[in-house]
Structure 1
Amino acid sequence: MKRLISFAVALSLLACEKEPNDYVSIEGKVNNGKTDSLVVMGRNFRKTIKVSENGTFKDTMKIKDGFHAISDGSREAYLYLKNGYELEVDIDMEKFPESLSFNGEGSVTNDYLKRKIQFIKDENLANYNQFFELEKEEFDASIASLKAKMDAMLTETKGLDPEVIQMEKDANNKMIIFFQDNYETEHKALIGLKKGDPSPGFSYPDQYGKNVSLEDLKGKFVYIDVWATWCGPCKKEIPFLKEMDEEYKGKNIAFVSLSIDKMENKDKWLKMIEDEDLKGIQLLADNDWNSDFVTSYNIRGIPRFILLDDKGNIINSNAPRPSDPNLKELLNGLAL
């Protein structure tokens, strides 16, 4: 009889366990700023969440588990959302998107995602040529160190969703394999253009149709931004590049923005120059990715930044981005 009673009690306890929701519940508060809505976006998914006057928001949504973006309309951060999550998100608009903090079901995974994104920025992994430029011994050590850091970040985070663990393992392995498989080819292409070598030249029209060449800029240091109107990361650098142009006005340096938009998109390029009030020297390459200057530097991803001295020699063929504080440190060390 006692066994039956115990069994019945166990069943009743199990029956009272909360079943996971088949939707995501997301709520939180917006601090230090005002916005009337936030937008959550995923693959074939978009939902606008109303933000009250006191900054709070709350909503539910049924989604396909995976990575999503949350945006205030001009900036965005990334979330991992899974049906069943009851996620609390606090946002400081003065430091968005870095300011996101999480509580509730799903917070562990999203804290990890936030740290991983910051790690990618801190390691400047978008600039993968920094690894390919290294000699083999230093390259191997750098890649081993990178792998160890990513593995440690993953194993030290307790409570991650199993599917996220597997996705991260796969993504980390693919990154390491990419570096290892492409080292020989990329290294050979890059070492042809070393610090101190004369830079390949260019001569391309500006927005007024006047050709500007590298030879025309001899006597000035030159900071070149290779970009395109369709490139999101390129456009994110525009405000920082404009700040640099203003800060170093009157100094012996020219800021050159070299677009690799296709010729049939010339009007889009001209319109962006006008709409964004782009500064510096604006040039349009003659043959997009296949333009001589672009192929000479083996440019396969943009934005790409190049810094030359006043004699036209290479200081850094993969210079820091305008948003990177290291650029000002580098420029301030030159005799501008």
Structure 2
Amino acid sequence: MTKFLLAMGALMLVCSCAPKTDHQAAIISGSIRNHNDSVLTIVGNDYYRDTLRVDASGRFRDTLQLMPGSYLFSYGKLFWRTYLENGYDLRITFDTGQFGKSLTYEGTGSKENAYVYNRIRAQRSSMERVQKAMTRLSDSVPGLIEAQQEKELRFLDGYGGLSSAFRTLERRNIGYGYLLDLKRLEKLDTLHKLGGLREKIRNLEDTLTFDRAMDYLFSPGYRRMLEEHYRRNAEQAVRQSGLDGDIAYLKEISGITNDTIRNSLAYNHARYGIAYTGDLQTFYSLFLKTSTDPAYNKEITDSYTVLDKVAKGSPSPGFRDYENYKGGTTSLSDLAGSYLLIDVWATWCGPCRKEIPYLQELETRYHGKNIRFVSISIDKHKDRDKWKKMIRDKKLGGIQLLADKDWESSFVKEYLIREVPRFIILDPEGHIVDYNAPVPSSGKLQDIFDGLDI
């Protein structure tokens, strides 16, 4: 079983939506007819991920410690939303051959989860009509959005057996979805054809507060609006102070008084952002001042320790015997004596493909200079033929290499590469010039190269 457990201290900060029990964990069990996989996966907020083992008879059972909130269950090609919290003893059964007709819940939390599933099924067609109507931007669209909200509220009010706390949270969740739809419509209404829309949105926004921990955990809509709120504030701070955006955002959320929200936003930002910041030490120090969650702090500290080893001027981590498209193998030590622009990429990565023509322009511009262009694909070895085909079809130049273990390659892990493309510049002695160089399309690499002795 694979687990990433959220810090349990924060659980005391939020209310329970189910009858109180003696359990300090959630018990998830059940059975699957026509089972075709050995694991059932649960994914939640803040990169929570757990897998429940499904035995040979299709049964599963596990005890989980988790934050209350929305979770995505997946089994094979089946996906569905649930609501979980500690204290639940939830039993789930379904038949993979007729999932929609067979899914049933029993035990503590069963009513809430039956509601979640049935609400999504009941509202799907009308939600699709609203989304389609948005593209036409007629005066009737705001009314359709409001009617959709009222339909969802009627469905909630008519659904029996729900706890009062869950019902209250869900009413607010529906309201947040309504506001998000109006804001989405506003973005489409570039010519301001829909009179009164701006005023209606502002009136609704004036009623928002950004300190509701349970709403943050329960409602994707509230979570999205809260994140957008603090990002807008950070963008304004960047314009006024000239701070880097990643630093400004951490500063903005550091003032949030609610631990659950502040820790979650800081972690979600730092988990990837720490690998891309232009000021590692400031970023890390500010994160530690912002987050009070020991589990989050340990993970980000581990990332900082890795990145600190690849600071400017440090010897680069190496790689050995990567397959070379032109034949044989290549190690980093084979490339000593030249500046290197290393592009870590993959054939399945759209942003990587976008950079190809700009990278080719750089190769042409600096042809004959003391700089070599090295592309390291993290495609899986079973996709080697796709890698070779793209090199041929796109007429990719430079030195084309295939990493030995895709994402698990030591070179990739030692640079803490979690997203591609990633560009790295090394000097002729193999020391790091920039472990997170600008992408070619930014136009900034030319200035960097012109400042080097190449």
TM-score bucket (shorter structure): 0.5 to 0.7
RMSD (CA atoms): 4.5
For residues 184 and 416 of structure 2, the distance between their equivalents in structure 1, rounded to whole angstroms, comes to 45
Structure 1 residues 271, 102: CA separation in 2 closer, same or farther (over 3 Å shift)?
farther
Match of 1:295, SS state, is helix
Separation (CA, whole Å) in 2 of partners of 1:81 and 1:138: 31
Give the aligned residue type for 2:366. Y
SS of the aligned residue for 2:363 comes to helix
Q: What is the correspondence of 1:173-192 to structure 2 with a 5 Å cutoff?
A: 182-192=299-309
d(CA) in 2 for partners of 1:282, 1:229: 12
Q: Are residues 1:82 and 2:228 paired?
A: no
**Structure 1 unaligned runs (5+)?**
1-20, 29-59, 66-79, 91-100, 148-172
Q: Deviations over 1:33-82 (max 9, x none)?
A: xxxxxxxxxxxxxxxxxxxxxxxxxxx8x9999xxxxxxxxxxxxxx973
1:52-131 aligned at under 5 Å gives the runs 82=181, 103=192, 104=194, 105=197, 123=245, 128-131=274-277
2:343 touches 2:374 (CA, 8 Å); kept in 1? yes
Deviation of 1:283 (Å): 0.6
Determine if the alignment matches structure 1 residue 223 to structure 2 residue 341: yes
Whole-angstrom distance in 2 between the partners of 1:139 and 1:190: 11
Residue 430 of structure 2 is aligned to residue 325 of structure 1: no
Alignment of 1:305-316 (within 5 A): 305-316=423-434
For residues 279 and 425 of structure 2, what CA distance do their matches in structure 1 show?
16
How far apart, in 2, do the equivalents of 1:319 and 1:254 lie?
A: 15
Deviations 1:113-157 (A, max 9, x none): 8x96x96xx84786531449622x56445899xx9xxxxxxxxxx
Task: Name the CA shift for 1:209/1:195 in 2 (closer, same or farther; >3 Å).
Answer: same
Q: Please, which runs of 5 or more residues in structure 2 have no aligned partner?
A: 1-128, 150-178, 206-226, 236-243, 247-268
Aligned partner (choices 382, 400, 411) of residue 293 of structure 1: 411
Note closer, same or farther for the CA distance 1:138–1:269 as it changes in structure 2 (3 Å cut). Answer: closer
CA separation in 2, counterparts of 1:127 and 1:306? Answer: 17
How many angstroms apart in 2 are the aligned matches of 1:211 and 1:236? 27
Residue 211 and residue 102 in structure 1: after superposition, are their counterparts in 2 closer, same or farther (change >3 A)?
A: farther
> Is residue 2:312 matched to residue 1:213?
no
- 1:148-176 superposed Cα distances (whole Å, 9 cap, x missing partner): xxxxxxxxxxxxxxxxxxxxxxxxx9xx9
Match of 1:201 in 2: 318
Question: Equivalent residue for 2:376?
Answer: 258
Could you tell me which amino acid in structure 1 is paired with residue 305 of structure 2? K
Match for residue 25 of structure 1 among 125, 134, 144: 134
Does the 8 A contact of 1:226 with 1:304 survive in 2? yes
Cα 1:26–1:249 change in 2 (3 A) is same
Is the CA contact (8 Å cut-off) linking 1:259 and 1:283 kept in structure 2?
Answer: yes
Q: Which amino acid aligns with 1:316?
A: D
Report sequence identity in percent: 40
Distance 1:199 1:293 in 2: 9
Q: Is the 8 A contact 1:190 1:298 kept in 2?
A: yes
Residue 57 of structure 1: aligned partner:
none
Higher relative CO (Cα under 8 Å, sequence separation at least 6) belongs to 1
In 2, Cα distance between equivalents of 1:293 and 1:197: 14
* Distance in 2 of aligned mates of 1:178 and 1:240: 40
- The letter for the 1-side match of 2:430 is G
Partner of residue 34, structure 1: none
Q: Aligned partners of 1:85 and 1:330: how far apart in 2?
A: 40
Change (3 A) 1:214 1:180: same
**Are the aligned partners of 2:274 and 2:280 in contact in 1 as well (CA < 8 Å)?**
no
Q: Within 2, Cα distance between the matches of 1:299 and 1:328?
A: 23
Q: Which amino acid in the other structure matches residue 443 of structure 2? A: P
Using the size of structure 1 for normalisation, the TM-score is 0.55
CA contact (8 A) 1:88 1:102 kept: no
Q: In structure 2, what is the Cα distance between the partners aligned to 1:220 and 1:204?
A: 18
SS of 2:437's partner is coil
Q: Which amino acid aligns with 1:185?
A: D
Task: For 1:325 and 1:211, locate their aligned partners in 2 and report how far apart those are by CA, in whole Å.
Answer: 32
The 3-state SS of whatever aligns with 2:401 is strand
